[in-house]
Amino acid sequence: MFKKFIFFLAWIGVFLLSLIGIVYAAVPKYFVQFNKYVDTIGYSIIVGIISIIYLVICIVKLCSLFERSKDYTIKTENGIVYISSDTVTTFIKEKLAGNRDISNIKIDTYKSGTKFNVKIRLDMISDGTVSDKLERIQKEIKEDLSNEMGIEVGKVQVKISRLSIKEKNENTNKNNTEYESFNN
């Protein structure tokens, strides 16, 4: 914790020095002139460019502090196991690829607290029982991630991008029946 506090103070110092450097390069008359040879336009430009670079680095570092890790961590007695979101995505795609009625699968994963959440968008061909199929997909994915990978899953959201309905071919059945009776 002490090291983090020292690095925090160092980043604050770099940020303040970069702001002072930019002000010095833009308006040098507010600062005491140390040497008349140092007060040149070229020197001010160099100080300004370096200060802007350090300011951008500080802003990027500050923004990276607020990014959430998409990886899932499991603490075991031997250490910590990291499971990347890409691994979970590939796992889910392989599970859903076996179903011929599902295509064009797009998966997004995110963490909410300690739980792993999954959003799935897909195209589906159905025979009319869409809600049952979606509920079964949600349940299977949640159970598979929990049982096979040891991941605590919060939500599994399934959204259908495109839905096609299978038509029951009554005409084909009638024609087959007529053909069979004709042959007898």
Mean pLDDT over 15-24 rounds to 86
Strand (E) or helix (H) holding 96: helix 85-97
Please report the beta strands in the chain, taking only residues with DSSP state E, as ranges in sequence order: 72-76, 79-83, 102-112, 115-126, 153-165
- Given a contact cutoff of 8 angstroms between Cβ atoms, the answer to whether 85 and 111 are in contact is no
Model pLDDT, residue 181? 40
Give 69 or 149, the one with higher predicted confidence.
Answer: 149
* Helix, coil or strand: residue 114: coil
Model pLDDT, residue 69? 58
CA distance 127 to 143: 25
Give me the residue spans of the domains in the chain.
Answer: 2-65, 72-165
Model pLDDT, residue 17? 87
Q: pTM of the full predicted structure?
A: 0.52
Cα dihedral 127, 130, 135, 141, rounded to 10, equals 70
Give 161 or 40, the one with higher predicted confidence.
Answer: 161
The band of 61, judged by pLDDT with boundaries at 50, 70 and 90, is confident
Has residue 36 got a pLDDT over 80? Answer: no
Has residue 175 got a pLDDT over 70? Answer: no
Has residue 118 got a pLDDT over 60? Answer: yes
Least confident window among 53-67, 68-82, 137-151: 68-82
CA distance 119 to 45: 50
Average pLDDT, the chain: 77
Report the CATH number of the 72-165 domain: 3.30.70.1350
